[in-house]
Amino acid sequence: MVVAAPASGSGKTTVATGLMAALRARGLRVSPHKVGPDYIDPGYHALATGRPGRNLDPWLTGESTVRPLFLHGARGADLAVVEGVMGLFDGRGDTDFASTAHVARLLDAPVVLVVDAARQSRSVAAVVHGFATFDPRVRVGGVILNRVGSDRHEELCRSALAAAGVRVLGALRRDDAVSTPSRHLGLIPAAEREAEAVAAVERLGELVARSCDLEALVRLARTAPALPERPWSPGEALATPAGRMPEAARRVPEGSLAETSAGAPRGGRGSGPVVAVAGGAAFTFGYAEHAELLQAAGAQVATFDPLRDEALPEGTAGVVIGGGFPEMYAADLAANEPLKRRIAAFPGPVAAECAGLLYLCESLDDHTMCGKIPAKAEMTPRLTLGYRDAVATRDSLLTRAGEPYRGHEFHRTAVTTDGEPLFRWEGGGDGHGDPLLTASYLHLHWAGTPSAAQRLVSSSKSPSALR
């Protein structure tokens, strides 16, 4: 089922995460998914389900890859919960492309609409009626009311929705005890909160369990038809440059979610070069498929924490530094001089996105960073956010001149540098690159550009060869 809402801030993450935790507590194997490029919500989904949170984004990976990626993540699950993004029909620009509605249509999945009932009663029915009838291809199967103030308030909302012919599947009371802390880029990642985040997810599960009709929600989810595609495979994605299996190869006999997901080829763990991937509290942004693609390309994937580790993992032949919040940990990152020196002097391939770009700069505000890139970064009051239709201006570690890339920007920093940017898009561009480096604000989903993993692994040589 898809958990959606009329607008951001309605309670999608509260309901979706709590629903995942509540269903897992009932003994179900729950597959967690998130519409769009968001990295933070999937971290909470992973805590709730014990499985990697997976993103479904038609813009970043292409429409034809969404269903195979969904089935890949849902392999062996009893039920899948997909948290939407923004309002149900909010997509790129003035279209619903890459919206929650778009993904719900691609999956042919029922939608549960989370409605913030605060400061309204009968009007809730009008809102829901509009969303349920706006696009007949989107099946709104029921409503969960959020921020209900009292028994009387709930009774009024339920009565109005019953008259409109819409099922109420749950009603959550206002409860500040289950709120999730946020800051300048949204929720604080679960990896930064550790035990506190685990406790918060547990409370969300208890709230949803006592406030929602879980049996009715499971029945609704089971109305979704089986998908005929084969699950996405990192090995097959690497074998097809566009990252999409041939149409004939994707077709398999219909079956249940668990049956359809079974038996899909998995990428190997890899026995070749070691690719070190940054992690820890400062670098929490990443897609699970990236490590799977690296392994399928032959790499051994090892993690390191730039806040704590003074050296790269033994045998490192390539480095990936993804997104996160280095600005929140700038002083601690700056204090780790041994690792900064090793990163600056590392002679092998380095791929960096957003936070990784900042870490490779000479400085971030008043803190000295690695200095691998001749640029300075600083915090700004302006949020830069949105999809980008980019073109590479030249060859680099991951790019070839003239190649198109679909990415996403999400930051409140700016980098000051000279020279031609590595990527150009309408109204802007950024990035640094050479044969052993790609560093940019642009977040890519490698399931949409699997060549990135292959190029990085192919450029990774043994440590002895790098000396």
**Within 13 Å and on the Cβ side, how many CA atoms surround 12?**
27
Residue 46 CA to residue 44 CA, distance in Å, equals 5
Residue 384 CA to residue 354 CA, distance in Å, equals 11
Are residues 460 and 348 in contact, defined by beta-carbon separation less than 8 angstroms? yes
Residues in the chain: 467
Are residues 135 and 89 in contact, defined by beta-carbon separation less than 8 angstroms? yes
Residue 376 CA to residue 415 CA, distance in Å, equals 6
- Catalytic one of 157, 212, 354, 361: 354
Dihedral (Cα; 85, 91, 92, 95), 10-degree rounding: 180
- DSSP structure string for 104-166: HHHHT--EEEEEE-TT-STHHHHHHHHHHHH-TTS-EEEEEEEEE--HHHHHHHHHHHHHTT-
3-state secondary structure of 304: strand
Reference 13, options 182, 168, 160; nearest CA is 182
Residue 350 CA to residue 345 CA, distance in Å, equals 11
Taking CA atoms, 82 is separated from 13, 70, 136, 139, 163, in Å, by 10, 9, 20, 14, 28
Burial pattern 116-154, b for ≥16 Cβ within 10 A else e, equals bbeebbeebbebbbebbeebeebbbbbbbbbbbeeeebb
Residue 247 CA to residue 123 CA, distance in Å, equals 46
Residue 41: its H or E element: helix 40-49
Q: Is 361 a catalytic residue?
A: no
Residue positions annotated with a catalytic role: 354
